[in-house]
Amino acid sequence: MALAAFSTATPPQQDQEPAQRRRSGIALVLLLPGVLYLVLFFLTPLVSLIITSFQAPVLDGDIGQYQAAFRWENYTEAIGEYWPQIIRSFVYAIIATAAALLISYPLAYFIGVKVRKYPLLQNLLMTLVIAPFFISFLLRTLAWKQLLSDDSWFTSSLKAISILPPDAHVTGTAFSVIFGLTYNFIPFMTLPLYSTLERLDVRYLEAGNDLYANAFTTFRKITLPLSLPGIVSGTLLTFIPAAGDYINASQDFLGGADTSMIGNVIESNFLVLQNYPTAAAMSVVLMAVILVIVGLYVRRSGTEDLL
Amino acid sequence: MKRFRFKGLGLGVYAFLALAFLLIPIVYTFVYSFNDSLKNNIAWRGFTLHNWTNVCDAAGICDAFAASIVIGLISTVIATVLGTMIAIALMRYRFRFRSQTSLLLFLPMASPEVVLGAGLAAQFLSLSVNKGFGTIIIAHVMFCISFVVVTVKARVASLDPALEEAGRDLYGSPVAVFWRITFPLLLPGILSAALLSFSLSFDDFIITNFNAGAVTTFPMYIYIAASRGIPAQANVIASAVFIITILVVLIAQIAASSRAKRLARLS
């Protein structure tokens, strides 16, 4: 089902090519339209972004008028002005990713290993995991805003049982932004974890048990290493959208005056202030950091086949 | 043994709580679609069916919904065709630049949406393209293609090549083998890719916001309304879309599982 799209672990490819090698003309016809599309509307825009990030304002021009230039200062000025947002984005995204992993791993383990005997139930539970995808992302986030607002039944009952101090505000804080990021990207974490844990051979766990390993050692030495590919793709799939998100941190949603992230900076500079070079420079910075993290992460964990 | 059972139970309770956590905002959205609210759907003011029977009462909401449906359908068709072709090529043929193609398909999924949106907007700006329906569809097709490829590829990988060989042995032309054997077998994968594309397109806000111009899609309607209060009709539309999608998914799963049972009995 739709699940397959998110499980980045691909089944092993068999090399059964012989007679088909000479038919590479067909392959070209099949590939060309889609590849050309991505070159035109994915790669070229990235180049446009880099060009825009060096543009200089037109002398005596209107707001939003820029000309081709090689203005390095766009970067130093943008980083100088927005370094708190840059750091905040990555801190929020790292915490949200860790929280999503802690919540998702036992859930994925339960559905992938414990419920394995009942395939239909397994599918139904996974449908519940992806159910949030089928309702508007913005409305889900607004629902949490209402649920976490000062006088909601949710917040008041947390206050009643002293989990929260009586004068606490939840919305508009770093906590609520990270909470929203965690909530919104849990399915992205659970799906790849599930797809590796579902294939985990339980006989390895029994072997660990037979060799007198306790539950913790069995988990650390067997389950965890075997599910590493799922952990790698899950953390990437959660971290990347979380670092670039600007809905949760927006003041109309779960954020406050001092929770804005890189996404908010790019959005307001591009769409409100028409300060395109700054927005483009920040996008390039975000993309570069993410590409470096993705590269390091994948190399360290040794999972080269992501698609 | 006893300890093992207890551990299993603890994990079950944990999974139940985690799922409940995931479903809370969905239940909230559904319940508040019945709220007899004024302009702002925040405080509970009593149960009514009025929002469900008068969905278009909220100004502009039905236009936004229609725009999202049209954009979703067109983007889905284009992305599904392009993505399916790539998936078949990747699984069935060896060619040069194969790994570069895989990277090109992976990168859009590994890029933050805000970068994809700002990049396309910068390109449209430098080419002085007027933003509107066309630019939204261009953007949606772009981010859907990779997801279609991954979904269909998983299906191509599970195909038994012997079936196609049998078709060729029986003197089927390559075209006949494709349309009478390969395509029907791929169809479930193609359909789930299409469903996924439509959900992605229908719910996209971040990329659309950069490339919409004067067009208002359903998520953009909610974003604009968020500062002054969301009408309950937005909850009605979101809940209705949710119920329809989840029914489609459940029916497909039950059909697939009963088919699997039938096949298991045959063999």
- Residue A195's alpha-carbon distances to A251, B41, B194, in angstroms, are 36, 39, 21
pLDDT at B211: 96
- CATH number for B181: 1.10.3720.10
Q: Is residue A263 part of a domain?
A: yes
Q: Is A6 helix (H, G, I), strand (E, B) or coil?
A: coil
Q: Which residues of A touch B12 (CB under 8 A)?
A: 110, 114
Q: pLDDT of B187-232, one tens digit each?
A: 989 998 999 999 999 999 999 999 998 999 999 999 999 888 889 9
The pTM assigned to this predicted structure is 0.88
Q: Give the pLDDT confidence score for residue A301 in this predicted structure.
A: 61
Q: How many domains does chain A have?
A: 1
- Min Cα separation A84/chain B (Å): 18
Task: Examine residue B132 and state whether it is found in any structural domain, yes or no.
Answer: yes
A42 touches chain B (CB under 8 A): yes
Residues B144 and B161 occupy one common structural domain: yes
Q: Which residue range is the domain that position B122 belongs to?
A: 60-230
Instruction: Answer yes or no: do A241 and B253 touch at CB < 8 A.
Output: no
Number of domain units in chain B:
2
Same domain, B206 and B242: no
B219 and B247 share one domain: no
Which string of DSSP letters, residue by residue, matches B46-69? -B-SHHHH-GGGSTTHHHHHHHHH
Task: Identify whether B210 is part of a domain.
Answer: yes
Query: What pLDDT does residue A302 have?
Result: 52
Q: Is residue A181 part of a domain?
A: yes
Neighboring chain B residues of A219 at a CB cutoff of 8 Å: none
Note whether residue A150 is domain-resident. Answer: yes
**So what's the pLDDT on residue B6?**
52
The nearest CA of chain A is from the CA of B122 a distance in Å of 6
Residue B226 lies in a domain: yes
Tokens, residue B251: 């029916």
Amino acid (one-letter) located at A270? F
Q: Name the residue among B93, B246, B250 with its Cβ closest to that of A26.
A: B93
Residue A291 lies in a domain: no
- Do B246 and B173 lie in one domain? The reply is no
Interface test with A, best of B4, B22, B126 (most A CBs within 10 A): B22
Same domain, B195 and B260: no
What is the least distance, in Å, from the CA of B17 to any CA of chain A?
9
Q: Render each residue's pLDDT in chain A as its tens digit; 307 residues.
A: 333 444 444 444 444 444 444 566 888 889 999 999 999 999 999 999 999 999 998 888 787 788 888 888 999 999 999 999 999 999 999 999 999 999 999 999 999 999 988 888 998 999 999 999 999 999 999 999 999 887 777 788 878 887 777 777 888 889 999 999 999 999 999 999 998 999 888 888 888 888 888 888 888 888 888 898 899 889 999 999 999 999 999 999 999 888 999 999 999 999 999 999 999 999 999 999 988 987 887 776 654 455 4
Residue B67 has a pLDDT of 96
Q: Are residues B168 and B261 in the same domain?
A: no
Residues B168, B240 within the same domain:
no
Phi, psi of B160 (to 5 degrees): -85, 115
> What pLDDT does residue B1 have?
42
With respect to residue A211, please indicate whether it lies within any of the assigned structural domains. Answer: yes
Query: What residues in chain B have per-residue pLDDT under 50?
Result: 1-5
- A-chain CB neighbours of B149 within 8 Å are 34, 307
B255 neighbourhood in chain A, CB within 8 Å: none
Q: Which domain holds residue A212?
A: 84-270
Shortest Cα distance, chain B CAs vs residue A99, angstroms:
12
Establish if A235 belongs to a structural domain.
yes
Closest CA to A10 of B110, B93, B185, B151: B151
pLDDT the model gives residue A126: 92
Taking an 8 Å cut-off on Cβ atoms, the answer to whether A120 and B253 are in contact is yes
